[in-house]
Structure formats: structure tokens, C-alpha cells
Amino acid sequence: MNILDDIKLAYNKANIVEKIIYINVLFFLITVLLTSFTINWLALPTSLNSFLYKPWTLITYAFIHQRLFHILSNLLVLYYIGNLFLDFYNKKQFVNFYFLGIIVGGIAFLAKYYFSNKIGAPLGGASAAVSTIFVAIATKIPRYALRLRFIGSVELWVLAAIWVGLSILQLGNPDNGPAFAHLAGAGFGFLYAKQLENGNDIGNWFEKLLNFLFNIFKFKKRQPLKTVYKSSKRKKANEVTKTKQRKIDDILDKISKSGYESLSKEEKEFLFRSGKK
């Protein structure tokens, strides 16, 4: 088994959080090799006109990281906080929180530059989505304590507040569009978690949309018909093999009792043909 098979096996065994981490790492490697292409075509532009020309960037920007520290900080937090998230929410809710956080963060980024009538650097990175997950789980279990090495136990709401506080400090930067995206993601995470507590899943429409799109674009193989056909064919082949083996056993028993010459011409020919296959 080569390294690609190992990676494929690990990906198939991974949970949804780990799969998103793998995808982010893959896109990071692509960005390192093809920086100009990925920034131009996958990062979210500040210009609304450019975005309308490349609408997919409202999603793809979240998988583009240029700096090693940027992707490490995002993915480390996502790994620990995302897996904690899955202890209290299901996989589909994680997908809803994560990708809606991406969309809300991207819209806030576009709105900031649209209303300020300024141009800045394109947006890249999963910080808006990570902020959504972080704040959502901190809203769900604020007093849950994580034990940090060299620090001790720290409640989740404190860690989330520090994470959001770093984005607030970034508002002082001249090009502060990313901070708006991060804070929008965090705000959405809080709102979504609170709505779920009240029994209102405001992200359910997104789940239905994904299911609808998947059903449109998936390859239709007519799986039930194909499976039944193969199953019947295999079953018939097995029955033929068993019948043949029983006949061979009967002939061999006859040879052991009465010798080879006791076989009929048909039995000798059958045994000869079977021995050649």
C-alpha cells in the first residue's frame, strides 16, 4: 500500500471535522504551488463586481491559507473544538454551522468593502467558520473546562472570548475586512446555538439545499437493479459450482471403492474436463 492509499484510507475513516482538516491541508499545498491561481480564482475579492463574476469564492475562500501559522492556528482550534462540538451536536449540524459561518463571514466581508467604497486584499482562511463553531459550542456549554498544559483548567467561554477578542483587536488594522468576517461568523454561531436551544433550527434550509443539490449532481447508477442482477448472477454461479463439486466428489468416491475402470465414459470425460480447468 503506497502513501496515497494510506491517505485515502485515513480520510475514509475520519469524522467530518478531520475530513475538513484534510481538505484544508490539500488546498494549502495547492496554494503553495499555485499561489497566484488560487488567490485569483478561489479567494473572496473585495469588489462586488469581481465576486459576481466568481460567486463560488463565497465558499472556496475558507479553504485558502497563504501562511503556515494561519492554517496551523485555525486547524488546531478546529480539531479540538470541532471534535468537542460533535459530542453535543450531530454531523449535519456541524456542516450547517461551519458552511453557514463561511457564507455569513463572506457576506460581512463583502458588505464592509461595498459600503466603505474601499479596496483591500482578497479574503482567505477558515477563521470565520472556526469562529462560528467555537462560539456555538461555548454558547452551548460555557462552563465546560478544558485543561491546558502549563495553564490549567480554563472554561470554554473564556477561551471563546479570547478568540473573539483577537478579532476585535484586528478592527484597528487599515485592512480590517477579515476581522468583520470573523466577528460575523462568531455572531452567527451564537445566534444559531441559541435558536437551537429554543427548538428552532435556522440552518435546516441549508441542509435541505445540500441534499437537493447532491441528488441533482450525483451519478445515478440505478443501484437496486444492478445489485439485484449481480446478486442473482453470483448466486446462480455458486449453485453451479456446488453442483459440480458434488459430482466430482461422487466420482472420486466411486474410484476409491471400485477403481477408475468402473467409471462410465461420461464420468471419465467430465473428470478430465474438470481437471483441465
What CATH number is given to the structural domain containing 123?
1.20.1540.10
Can you tell me whether residue 191 is helix, strand or coil? helix
62 — pLDDT class (breaks 50, 70, 90):
very high
Stated as kind and residue range, the H or E segment containing 84 is helix 68-85
Range of the domain at 80: 3-217
Higher pLDDT, 20 or 242: 20
Model pTM score: 0.76
Task: Judge if 236 and 180 occupy the same domain.
Answer: no
The reply to whether 135 and 198 lie within a common domain is yes
pLDDT of residue 223: 52
- Between 181 and 245, the more confident residue is 181
What percent of the chain shows pLDDT beyond 70? 83
SS3 237: helix
Quick one: 69 and 144 in the same domain? yes
Which has the minimum average pLDDT: 111-125, 134-148, 260-274?
A: 260-274
Task: Using pLDDT thresholds of 50, 70 and 90, give the confidence band for residue 3.
Answer: confident
Q: Residues 112, 180: contact at Cβ < 8 Å?
A: yes
What does the angle CA 51 – CA 201 – CA 195 come to, to the nearest 5 degrees? 100
255 has a pLDDT exceeding 80: no
Q: Report whether pLDDT(269) > 90.
A: no
- The per-residue pLDDT for 246 is 76
Select the more confidently predicted residue: 211 or 59: 59
Looking at the DSSP bridge assignments, the partners of residue 155 are: 145
Residues 132 and 199 both lie in one domain: yes
Q: Which among 148, 122, 114, 138 is positioned nearest to 186, based on CA atoms?
A: 138
d(CA 67, CA 241): 62
Question: Residue 147 carries which DSSP code?
Answer: E
Name the residue with higher pLDDT: 99 or 258. 99
Q: Are residues 199 and 229 in the same domain?
A: no
Work out how many domains the chain is built from and give that number: 2
What pLDDT, on a 0 to 100 scale, did the predictor assign at position 213?
Answer: 83
For 23-46, the pLDDT digits (tens) are 999 999 999 999 999 999 999 999
What are 176's three cell numbers? Answer: 480590517
Specify whether 29 is located in the same domain as 131: yes
pLDDT digits (tens, 9 = 90+) for 133-182: 999 999 999 999 998 888 889 999 999 999 999 999 999 988 899 999 99
**Residue 193 confidence (pLDDT):** 97
Are 65 and 42 members of one domain? yes
- CA 255, CA 17: separation in Å to the nearest integer? 65
Residue 146: helix, strand or coil by DSSP?
strand
Residue where one domain finishes, among candidates 217, 232, 258 = 217
User: Of 217, 252, 268, at which residue does a domain stop?
Assistant: 217
Q: What is the pLDDT of residue 220?
A: 52
Do 75 and 104 belong to one domain? yes
pLDDT of 63 strictly over 70: yes
The stretch 247-263 carries a mean pLDDT of: 67
Domain ends where: 217, 239, 268? 217
- Please tell me whether residues 144 and 266 are part of one structural domain: no
Residues 145 and 12 in one domain: yes
Are 177 and 246 part of one and the same domain? no
- Per-position b or e across 8-45, b if 16+ CB within 10 A of its CB: eeeeeeeebbbebbeebeebbeebeeeeeebbeebbbb
Looking at residue 108, its pLDDT comes to 97
Q: Is the pLDDT of residue 1 over 60?
A: no
The DSSP bridge pattern shows strands 152-155 and 145-148 to be: antiparallel
Q: In angstroms, how far is CA 91 from the centroid of its own chain?
A: 10
Under the banding of pLDDT at 50, 70 and 90, the label for residue 117 is confident
Q: For residue range 188-230, what is the model confidence (pLDDT) as tens digits?
A: 999 999 999 999 999 999 988 888 888 887 755 555 555 545 5
Residue that is written with C-alpha cell 478544558 in the block: 146
Q: What percent of the chain has pLDDT over 90?
A: 64
Whether residue 105 is found in the same domain as residue 14: yes
Q: Is the pLDDT of residue 258 over 80?
A: no
Rounded Cα–Cα distance for residues 128 and 189 (Å): 10
